[in-house]
Structure 1
């Protein structure tokens, strides 16, 4: 079983499209990113009900960001802070992180707050970071797709993007997901064909193949008949 988050899925999609590695750039952590990490930590502490007033007085910039986020913290519902959602899709584990998930009776809202500059709406909507999060909320809750939404809050500017979901978007993403994971899904489909031969082996044949590392320990054990006590 493999694990895939939005970043890994994007890299796989890039490789499938044969995009040059020169287009993928890495940069050192900036001072702004360090402040962003501290902001996320403060938001987690707020979620736990811990006092943060003294810290906010010492860091007025982070205090401003927290003020922008506060109205969203008052949305009613059962809340999960800084959480990870997982879903096993065709033997592949998909997962994504959320700053906050709010569960209401007939609606679920995922929230992501960031100090980054406001992104292009369409590019962000089509990204795996958005589509996988919406997909996971739908699969995990079994609510109607129209009752799923994801909110991005850009605390630097106060801009808010809300992305909704639908049956059509869900189906389109599944097709994109399967195209991206195709090599790994093919391995799973071939697995029974590769291992079915162990069922027809005699115990001695299975033992010999196991010693020669031609079959796995699980296949070896499967070829040994059960003995009633």
Structure 2
């Protein structure tokens, strides 16, 4: 009997989060996205997610021309973050007479039997160039070279080129990091990292997408649990399913204390 996610004629959607987990640990991908297992979440993590979701919602409402003043006045920290971003990047909020601009813009591409999907926080497309803007509600976590290797960067740029008239060299992706308030210190001012794109990178991403989707199709055809990552890779220390996988010693350490995930590994909540 087929599992529910293997029913005939269904097309699985693959987002950047799916691709990242597939590459790290297929079993974690299975638990998270195919079987939808839930795990207890630290209240501090939930609060960061709530704050990030609210920030994204305000930015979307503002871009749609909807009033946000009452929300920003009710939350001083949120107001300071939004106003700080507007001051740091005023060019992003100047109306365009030509082209396309949309917040929370979704794009999907059928690829090798799967639906590659991305939701852009802000997409600005002109006649000869395009910018993908992504809001990150935490301090800058990585250097530009590492950020360029992330599946979010790679998938978002790849999808835009494949679904538009633009060449790879005509698109870019900019991450804006807006830190939420903390009890320890005042948040840093907004900062950004811009990733350029090339035809070579586009071909490499396509090859990796082909490899991962071929691998996933082969694994799903076996109708068995997907393989686990090797324990020595170190990913189990930040995995919420370490106990389910009988690797709790990796998750909790030799002293039995819980190892919390990095901020960058906390999933954003889509609007």
Rg: which structure is higher? Answer: 1
Corresponding residue for 1:106? 128
Q: 1:49-74 deviations in whole A, cap 9, x for unaligned?
A: 11111221121211122123322222
Cα distance in 1 for partners of 2:63, 2:19 equals 29
Cα distance in 1 for partners of 2:95, 2:198 equals 23
Give the C-alpha shift of residue 17 in structure 1. 11
Cα distance in 2 for partners of 1:38, 1:184 equals 34
User: Structure 2 length normalisation: TM-score?
Assistant: 0.62
Cα distance in 1 for partners of 2:169, 2:26 equals 31
2:150 aligned with 1:127, yes or no? yes
Cα distance in 2 for partners of 1:169, 1:75 equals 31
Structure 1 106/32 Cα, relative in aligned 2: closer, same or farther at 3 Å?
A: same
- Report the structure, 1 or 2, having the larger strand content: 1
Give the C-alpha shift of residue 113 in structure 1. 0.8
Cα distance in 2 for partners of 1:74, 1:31 equals 32
Corresponding residue for 2:16? 6
Cα distance in 2 for partners of 1:144, 1:108 equals 10
User: Structure 1 length normalisation: TM-score?
Assistant: 0.72
Corresponding residue for 1:88? 110
Corresponding residue for 1:148? 171
Contact 1:85 1:97 in 2 (8 A): yes
> Any gaps of 5 or more consecutive residues in structure 2?
1-10, 32-38, 180-188, 220-271
Cα distance in 2 for partners of 1:17, 1:163 equals 31
Correspondences of 1:46-65 after superposition (within 5 Å): 46-65=62-81
Give the C-alpha shift of residue 166 in structure 1. 0.4
Give the C-alpha shift of residue 78 in structure 1. 2.2
Cα distance in 1 for partners of 2:137, 2:40 equals 19
Corresponding residue for 2:57? 41
Aligned alpha-carbon RMSD (Å): 2.5
Contact 1:90 1:185 in 2 (8 A): no
Contact 2:112 2:210 in 1 (8 A): no
Structure 1 129/75 Cα, relative in aligned 2: closer, same or farther at 3 Å?
A: farther
Higher relative contact order (CA 8 A, sep 6+): 2
Structure 1 40/16 Cα, relative in aligned 2: closer, same or farther at 3 Å?
A: closer
Q: 2:46 aligns with which of 30, 35, 38?
A: 30
Contact 1:98 1:110 in 2 (8 A): yes
Q: 1:28-49 deviations in whole A, cap 9, x for unaligned?
A: 3332321111111111111221
Corresponding residue for 1:214? none
Cα distance in 1 for partners of 2:160, 2:167 equals 10
Aligned residues: 183
2:145 aligned with 1:137, yes or no? no
Correspondences of 1:183-202 after superposition (within 5 Å): 183-184=215-216
Structure 1 43/62 Cα, relative in aligned 2: closer, same or farther at 3 Å?
A: same
